[in-house]
Amino acid sequence: MKNSEPGVELTIGAIAERTGCTVPTIRYYEEIGLIPPAKRRPSGHRVYQADSEELLTFIRHCRDFGFAIEQVRELVSLSKSNDRDCFETLEIAQTHLAAVRAKLAELRTLELSLARFVRSCSEMCAGGPAAQCSILKDVATQPATAGKGCCG
């Protein structure tokens, strides 16, 4: 990552606005060591260097892609290292891609079930008493996805 506007100090509110992160999120990232601790003014208010803006933007983008915090931590470390291999980054991305594809498969199964429920209701009972609705009966008797549920 490149260093932008050296010497510029940003309040937590300003850096939040510039990066699209919320103030509580920035505090959390600092608390868990994902970003370095901010300098403190005599008043106790946090101030961040311009390079923190770039780091927070990178972290937000990683989170937007759905990477878990520990994956983000590793990606941040990799982004600062000239000694580590790009294959480490590739492995993290491939692992995440596999998880996303598995989730998509679950969502497709869920979509098919819900479409069946809606079609059944539209054809059989729409407009009748709610207690007799086929959707409610189907939900009560069929799991959303095989092997998944609130307790499994």
Q: What's the pLDDT tens digit per position in 80-126?
A: 999 999 999 999 999 999 999 999 999 999 999 999 999 999 998 88
pTM: 0.77
Count how many domains the chain has.
2
Q: Which residue has the higher pLDDT, 4 or 72?
A: 72
One domain, residues 122 and 74: no
pLDDT tens sequence across 128-141: 899 889 999 889 98
Say if residue 64 is in the same domain as residue 111.
no
**Does an H or E element contain 10, and which?**
strand 9-11
Give me the residue label for tokens 């520990």: 70
Query: Contact 44/11 with Cβ under 8 angstroms?
Result: no
Cα distance between residue 71 and residue 99, in whole Å: 13
Q: Which CB contacts under 8 angstroms, 24+ apart, belong to 2-8?
A: 2/54, 3/50, 3/51, 3/54, 4/50, 4/51, 4/53, 4/54, 5/50, 6/49, 6/50, 6/51, 7/49, 7/50, 8/49, 8/50
On whether both 108 and 73 belong to a single domain, the answer is: no
Determine, yes or no, domain membership for 128: yes
| Whether residue 152 has pLDDT greater than 70 | no
Task: Report the pLDDT value the prediction gives residue 126, as an integer from 0 to 100.
Answer: 84
* Each residue's pLDDT tens digit, 30-76: 999 999 999 999 998 899 988 899 999 999 999 999 999 999 999 99
Residues 29 and 69 in one domain: yes
DSSP class per residue in 31-53 = HTTSSPPPEE-TTS-EEEEHHHH
In a domain, residue 71? The reply is: yes
- Domain of residue 24: give its range: 9-79
pLDDT for residue 2 is more than 70: no
Residue 19: count other Cβ atoms within 10 Å of its Cβ.
22
Question: Looking at residue 17, which CATH number applies to its domain?
Answer: 1.10.1660.10
Q: Which amino acid is at 76?
A: V
Q: From CA 103, how far away is CA 121, in angstroms rounded?
A: 27
Residue 112: the pLDDT is 94
Tell me how crowded residue 99 is: count the other CB atoms within 10 A of its CB: 14
